C-alpha cells in the first residue's frame, strides 16, 4: 500500500491518464466506480492550458477537477521525447515551442517543480530527458547523466513536504546504464522511483528485458512505477518483477477510436460481426457499460458517430485495466499469481488478437 495525503493506493494498480485534469470522456464518479485510486495529469500541458495560476486559485488540482483521490503529475519530461521536433535540449533545461500559439516555453528542472508545487498533486515527478527507443548508446548515456543532474536540481527546488518527489531511471535498452542510474538515484533516498524511457519505440522484447532487469534493483520498500505501459502482458510481467503502479493512454485512446479491451484482446466494435450481438462486452466486467449496454448497441453508436460510444468504451477500457491489476493483487495475497496469470507471464502471445487500427 502507498499512503498519500488524499488516500491509500493499493498496489499493484493501473492509473488512468488525465493529461489536462480530466480522464477523457469519464467523470470522477465513474472513475470511483471503476475503482481508480490514483490518476495522472501532465505538468507541461496544464502549464499551457489553463496555467498553474488558475489551478492554484481554484484550490489546487484536486478541487479543480473534483477528484478527491491521489494525483500524480508527470514533469513534462516525456514531452522531450514526444515533441522532439518542437524543442531544444540544453544543460539548463528544454526550450519548447508551444503547439498552441508558437511561443517559446523555457522548462527547467526548477520551473517544472515550481509548476508541480503550484498544481498540488500528491506525487510529483522529477524533470528528465527521455531519449527515443532507437537512440544510440552515447546519446542515451548523455541523457541518463543529465537526468541525474536535473534530479539533484529538482530536489533543491522542491518546497512542499506534502508532495512526494519521485526520481526517474533512464538508460534506454542498455542494461548497464540502467544499473548505474539505479545506483545513483537510490543514494538520494527518494520516496519512490519510476522506470522511464520505455514504450518509446523499442520492441516488446526490449521493454520486457529492461523492466525485468531494472525493477528488482529498486528498493522494495519504495513505490516502483513503470511509466507509459498498460497492456495485460506488459503489466503482468512487470508486476512479477516488482512494479507497483502503471499509467497509459491506451484505454481512452482506443475508446475514442471505437475499440474495446476485453480480457486482454482488442475488439474493433466497428466490425459488422457485432451488429446483432446482444451480449455485454464482457460478462465478468462490473463497469457501467457492461452492466447496461450490449455490443450491438455500442456498434450502433459508433456507426452513428455518437459521442456516447467513445465515453462508454473509454469507461469500460479503463475499468478493464484497473480490474486486471486488482485481480492480480488478490492473487498475490492468496499466493495464486503464477497459477492464475501464468499465460500473461510468457514473452510471446499465447492467443490471437482481434485487430484494432485507429
289: Cα within 13 Å, side-chain hemisphere: 31
- What pLDDT is stored for residue 103 in this prediction? 82
- What pLDDT is stored for residue 132 in this prediction? 87
- What pLDDT is stored for residue 275 in this prediction? 98
Unique residue bearing C-alpha cell 503489466: 235
Helix (H) or strand (E) holding 348, with range, is: none
Domain 38-226 has CATH 1.10.3720.10: no
- What pLDDT is stored for residue 138 in this prediction? 97
List, in sequence order, every residue forming a beta bridge with 137; answer none if it has no partner.
none
**Of 220, 146, 219, residue with least CA distance to 188:** 219
- What pLDDT is stored for residue 357 in this prediction? 32
CA distance 189 to 151: 12
- What pLDDT is stored for residue 81 in this prediction? 57
Residues forming the active site: 74, 247
C-alpha cell at 94: 528544454
- What pLDDT is stored for residue 76 in this prediction? 78
Helix locations, the chain, DSSP H: 28-33, 43-48, 52-57, 61-65, 78-82, 109-119, 137-157, 175-186, 204-214, 232-241, 250-256, 288-292, 295-303, 307-333, 337-341
Signed CA dihedral, 209, 210, 215, 217: sign only: positive
φ, ψ (nearest 5 deg) of residue 249 = -85, -5
CA distance 259 to 310: 9
Cα angle: 95, vertex 100, 105; to 5 degrees? 20
Tens digit of pLDDT per residue, the chain (358 long)? 999 999 999 999 999 999 999 999 999 999 999 999 999 999 999 999 999 999 999 999 999 999 999 999 998 766 765 665 667 889 999 988 877 777 888 899 999 999 999 999 999 999 999 888 889 999 999 999 999 999 999 999 999 999 999 999 999 999 999 999 999 999 999 999 999 999 888 899 999 999 999 999 999 999 999 999 999 999 999 999 999 999 999 999 999 999 999 999 999 999 999 999 999 999 999 999 999 999 999 999 999 999 999 999 999 999 999 999 999 999 999 999 999 999 999 986 644 444 433 3
φ, ψ (nearest 5 deg) of residue 5 = -60, -20
C-alpha cell at 117: 508545487
Length of the chain: 358
Three-state DSSP class for 223?
A: strand
Cα angle: 153, vertex 216, 226; to 5 degrees? 60
φ, ψ (nearest 5 deg) of residue 246 = -140, 160
- What pLDDT is stored for residue 141 in this prediction? 98
Three-state DSSP class for 259?
A: strand
CATH 3.20.20.105 in the chain, residues?
38-226
Amino acid at each position: 500500500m502507498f499512503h498519500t495525503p488524499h488516500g491509500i493506493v493499493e498496489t499493484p494498480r493501473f492509473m488512468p491518464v488525465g493529461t489536462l485534469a480530466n480522464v477523457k470522456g469519464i467523470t470522477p464518479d465513474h472513475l470511483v466506480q471503476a475503482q481508480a485510486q490514483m490518476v495522472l495529469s501532465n505538468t507541461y500541458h496544464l502549464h499551457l492550458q489553463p496555467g498553474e495560476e488558475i489551478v492554484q486559485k481554484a484550490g489546487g488540482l484536486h478541487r479543480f477537477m473534483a477528484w478527491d483521490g491521489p494525483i500524480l503529475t508527470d514533469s513534462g519530461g516525456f514531452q522531450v521525447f514526444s515533441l522532439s521536433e518542437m524543442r531544444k535540449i540544453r544543460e539548463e533545461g528544454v526550450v519548447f515551442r508551444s503547439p498552441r500559439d508558437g511561443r517559446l516555453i523555457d522548462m527547467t528542472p526548477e520551473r517544472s517543480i515550481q509548476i508541480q508545487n503550484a498544481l498540488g498533486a500528491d506525487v510529483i515527478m522529477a524533470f528528465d530527458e527521455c531519449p527515443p527507443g532507437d537512440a544510440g548508446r552515447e546519446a542515451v548515456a548523455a541523457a541518463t547523466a543529465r537526468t541525474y543532474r536535473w534530479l539533484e536540481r529538482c530536489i533543491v527546488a522542491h518546497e512542499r513536504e506534502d508532495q512526494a518527489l519521485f526520481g526517474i531511471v533512464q538508460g534506454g535498452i542498455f542494461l548497464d546504464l540502467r544499473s548505474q542510474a539505479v545506483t545513483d538515484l537510490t543514494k538520494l533516498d527518494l520516496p519512490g522511483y519510476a522506470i522511464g524511457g520505455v514504450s518509446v519505440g523499442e520492441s516488446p522484447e526490449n521493454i520486457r528485458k529492461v523492466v525485468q532487469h531494472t525493477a528488482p534493483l529498486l528498493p522494495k520498500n519504495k513505490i516502483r512505477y513503470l511509466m507509459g505501459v498498460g497492456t495485460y502482458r506488459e503489466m503482468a510481467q512487470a508486476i512479477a518483477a516488482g512494479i507497483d503502479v502503471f499509467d497509459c493512454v491506451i484505454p481512452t485512446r482506443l475508446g475514442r477510436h471505437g475499440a474495446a479491451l476485453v480480457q486482454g484482446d482488442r475488439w474493433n466494435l466497428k466490425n459488422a460481426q457485432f451488429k446483432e450481438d446482444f451480449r455485454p462486452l464482457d460478462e465478468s466486467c462490473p463497469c457501467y457499460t457492461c452492466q447496461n449496454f450490449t455490443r450491438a448497441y455500442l456498434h450502433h453508436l459508433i456507426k452513428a458517430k455518437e459521442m456516447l460510444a467513445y465515453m462508454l468504451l473509454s469507461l469500460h477500457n479503463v475499468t478493464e485495466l484497473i480490474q486486471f491489476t486488482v485481480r492480480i493483487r488478490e492473487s498475490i495475497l492468496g499466493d495464486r499469481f503464477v497459477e492464475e496469470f501464468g499465460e500473461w507471464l510468457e514473452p510471446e502471445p499465447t492467443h490471437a488478437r482481434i485487430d484494432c487500427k485507429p
